[in-house]
Amino acid sequence: MRKIDIVEKACQDRLAEDVKIIEIDKNLAICDYFVIATANNQNHAKAIAEEIEDKLYKEGYEHVGIEGIREGTWILLDYGDIIVHVFTKEQREYYDLERLWENKEGEK
């Protein structure tokens, strides 16, 4: 199973809402994918992030970094080629990351 598919399944398993997978232009060299998911609350966001981390770790993938796990309103999981953003609803609406990328990149 591809790494991006593992991330998507982990989001589904923890009932993340409105999961978007945005493929990033290879010329930008930031990463290959942004994944954006919504949680109902901070505890739900932490559970989604932990599920992603656990499933990827079991497949031999380790993160480069994790930010925001303590607060749980915007958790960023950096796996080098995949960057996952888990937001509470309010934070996702406020930052609106999709708007920054939707005209530049394609969604999976």
What per-residue confidence (pLDDT) applies to 102? 64
Domain spans of the chain, in order of start: 3-107
> Got the DSSP string for 47-98?
HHHHHHHHHHHHTT---SEEESTTT-SEEEEE-SSEEEEEEEHHHHHHH-HH
For residue 108, pLDDT over 60 is answered with no
For residue 100, pLDDT over 90 is answered with no
Neighbours of 87 (CB within 10 A): 27
Q: Token match 């790494």: residue? A: 3
Q: Does domain 3-107 have CATH number 3.60.15.10?
A: no
- What's the N-to-C CA distance of the chain in angstroms? 16
For residue 101, pLDDT over 50 is answered with yes
- Residues 2-47 pLDDT 10s: 999 999 999 999 999 999 999 887 777 688 999 999 999 999 999 9
- Residues 65-83 pLDDT 10s: 999 999 999 999 999 999 9
d(CA 5, CA 66): 20
